[in-house]
Amino acid sequence: MTTQATASRGAVAALARVDGRKLLFSPIFLSGLVLSLVGVGIFVQTVRTDATATWRVDAWTVGAGSIILALLAMVAANRAGLRDWREETVDQHEALPLGTSMRLAGLLGGVAWPATVAMVPVALAAVWASTRLEVPPVTTIHVIQTGVLVLMLGALGLALASWIPSGFVAPVVAFAFYVVHPGEYEQAWHAAWPFSFMSTVSLASWHVVYLLGLTLILIVAADLRGSRGRGGLAALTVGVVAVTVSLAAILPNACVSPGNCLL
């Protein structure tokens, strides 16, 4: 049993390496990476030409670029999850010793590769900016949040592939995420929006926990058949607890006063 479990973990790790490289070099993810770097470039140019530039006011292009990158990473992960469906190899792969759940685990491990790379542009922008202006300490948490956001959206992309095997759905969801906004008048519940970046270290850290909880829930949802055992129930329980506790910590403290929120 131990040998079989070790072999299974090795197979999943091998799949994660293969899928991770494919995701990194997919045209969809690379286009998002280019747009993220464009956002960094715009911010750098602003700081170089405007003596009044600040991180909080002018680094929005960095954040916007990272969000676009995360959304395109979701589309890339969804396309990877639909590989069997697109190539009509579902029946053949289901007959292999490596089951659907393990192949999905490999894909989820592969998403960690673009999640790691997605943090690089934001980190580089923050390090460069720190030599010229004041960068708030919470920015370190925001860099981590960028990677976790890619993980969460990657899990969503794989869940969508499991629920609705269509290449049309993920781009529509990504577009909807980008254009839909909770509203300009800030309210505490806006902190539940995945793309919120809290402005204090404590709240931002809890928001990362919130995203990790959502990630666990989406992982279970992506493999409903394989997640009915104890492991799936445990992951779902941890995810729900993480979401509940983090929201309980964030929502009462998100707004100093109506319309004056730490977002």
Q: Over the stretch 245-258, which tens digit does the pLDDT of each residue have?
A: 999 999 999 988 77
What is the Cβ-side half-sphere exposure of residue 49, based on CA atoms within 13 angstroms?
A: 7
Q: Is the same domain home to 13 and 66?
A: yes
Q: What percent of the chain has pLDDT over 90?
A: 65
CA distance 248 to 263: 16
Q: Is the same domain home to 131 and 230?
A: no
Task: Please report whether residue 243 resides in a domain.
Answer: yes
pLDDT band with cut points at 50, 70 and 90 for residue 8: low
pLDDT band with cut points at 50, 70 and 90 for residue 91: very low
Residue 105: per-residue pLDDT? 81
Mean pLDDT of 105-115: 91
Task: Please report whether residue 261 resides in a domain.
Answer: yes
Phi, psi for residue 255 in degrees, rounded to 5: -120, 130
Q: Is the same domain home to 37 and 130?
A: yes
Whole-number CA gyration radius for the chain: 19
Q: Is the same domain home to 8 and 132?
A: yes
Task: Show the domain range for 206.
Answer: 183-263
Exposure of 54 by Cβ count < 10 A (0-12 exposed, 13-18 middle, 19+ buried)? middle
Residue 185: per-residue pLDDT? 78
What are the pLDDT digits (tens) for 138-154? 999 999 999 999 999 99
Q: Is the same domain home to 100 and 46?
A: yes
pLDDT band with cut points at 50, 70 and 90 for residue 2: low
Please name the residues in contact with 239: beta carbons below 8 A apart, sequence gap of 6 or more.
213, 214, 215, 216, 217, 219, 220
Phi, psi for residue 195 in degrees, rounded to 5: -95, 10
Task: Please report whether residue 152 resides in a domain.
Answer: no
Task: Please report whether residue 149 resides in a domain.
Answer: no
Q: Is the same domain home to 84 and 199?
A: no
| Of 160, 179, 178, nearest in space to 169 by CA | 160
Q: Is the same domain home to 107 and 212?
A: no
Residue 209: per-residue pLDDT? 98
Residue 165: per-residue pLDDT? 87
pTM of the model: 0.90
Q: Is the same domain home to 192 and 173?
A: no
Task: Please report whether residue 258 resides in a domain.
Answer: yes
Task: Please report whether residue 150 resides in a domain.
Answer: no
Q: Is the same domain home to 99 and 127?
A: yes
Q: Is the same domain home to 132 and 236?
A: no
Task: Please report whether residue 159 resides in a domain.
Answer: no
What are the pLDDT digits (tens) for 44-86? 999 999 999 999 999 999 999 999 999 999 999 999 988 876 6
Q: Is the same domain home to 215 and 254?
A: yes
Task: Please report whether residue 145 resides in a domain.
Answer: no
The tally of domains found in the chain comes to 2
Cβ neighbours, 10 Å, residue 85: 13
- Please check the confidence at residue 96 and state whether its pLDDT lies above 50: no
Amino acid identity at 50? D
- Boundary-marking domain end, from 146, 180, 214: 180
| Of 75, 101, 92, nearest in space to 11 by CA | 101
Q: Is the same domain home to 175 and 190?
A: no
Residue 44: per-residue pLDDT? 97
